[in-house]
Amino acid sequence: MRIDLHTHSTVSDGTESPAVLIRAARDAGLDVIALTDHDSTAGWGPAAEAAQVEGVALIPGMEVSCRTDSGISVHVLSYLHNPLHAPLVEEIQRSRDARLSRAERMVERLGADYPITWADVQEHIAEGATVGRPHIADSLVTLGIVSDRSEAFRHILTAASPYWVGHYAPHPARAVELIRAAGGVAVFAHPVASARGRVVGDDVVGQMIDAGLQGLEIEHRDNPEPGRQELRRIAARHGLLTTGSSDYHGEGKPNRLGENLTSAAVLEQIEALATGSVVVR
């Protein structure tokens, strides 16, 4: 069984529609794929339709943007939650609204040094999508300012750049609580991905575990090996599930579908723990 539990579509910052993503999953020889767009479940419907046509099993999911009190960005994956659970829906809507005004402010700042306008960036945002820096990066590529998203993220769009603006997001322990209340399974995404920025310490991990965290995404290209070993110890100590995933974004990132996989035994446990929605087969 080839199981990839972390992918993005044009509903957030991936470059392929949910239906094209599912076809790509079939072509990559995956048996099971989770669609985990940032702060949105809008892709679940079209992905489910495509999954049934292509014969790929779909785990409906989401990646919740979070922020600690000291401003560290954390992502929490949710699997099989109820997409209509009002407290969770309200929280992700608040993040999505904040992401939009934040992107507008970043483009305003960029406009002082580069010939970029909000209208340029809008061309790269699919209707209703969760807005992120990758959309600004795509616009910088079109304008010939950088060659690809990765280059944009190396300097212009990093958290250390003068153009960077933060946005509201819930504390990761709060996100875990909301995911659990919505019947979902909560997995800490790429917990030691230091290339993304600062990573959290034992204090925040402890708060997330106390809030009901159920798993750690360990096999992910952004987790360096020494960090993975520490994560394996934490998982063993606290009885957490461990997953592996690609974090595929289409052409937006070098990550390839199926480059990391999750075991069938772990998927079985995720399904058994979830009460908010069901796998599409």
Q: Tell me if 134 contacts ligand AMP by CB under 6 A.
A: yes
Does 249 interact with ligand AMP (rule: CB under 6 A)?
yes
Residues 6+ apart with CB under 8 A from 89: 83
**Beta-carbon neighbour count of residue 145 at 10 Å?**
17
In whole angstroms, the minimum distance from the beta carbon of 102 to ligand AMP comes to 8
Q: Which is nearer to ligand AMP, 141 or 273 (CB)?
A: 141
Look at residue 174 and give the partner it binds from Zn ion, ligand AMP, Fe ion, none, a contact being a CB closer than 5 to 8 Å depending on partner kind.
Answer: none
Region 216-235 residues binding ligand AMP, contact defined as CB under 6 A:
none
Query: CB-wise, 135 or 267, nearer to ligand AMP?
Result: 135
Token readout for 3 is 């199981």
Place of tokens 């360990």: 218
Rounded to whole angstroms, the Cα distance separating 16 from 252 reads: 9
The answer to whether residue 253 forms part of the interface with ligand AMP (CB under 6 A) is yes
153 forms part of the interface with ligand AMP (CB under 6 A): yes
67 binds Fe ion (CB under 5 A): no
List 4, 13, 39, 91, residue binding Fe ion (CB under 5 A): 13
Site membership for ligand AMP, residue 6 (CB under 6 A): no
Q: What is the 3-state secondary structure (H, E, C) of 47-106?
A: HHHHHHHHCCEEEEEEEEEEECCCCCEEEEEEECCCCCCHHHHHHHHHHHHHHHHHHHHH
The residues that touch Zn ion, with contacts defined as CB under 5 A, are 63, 247
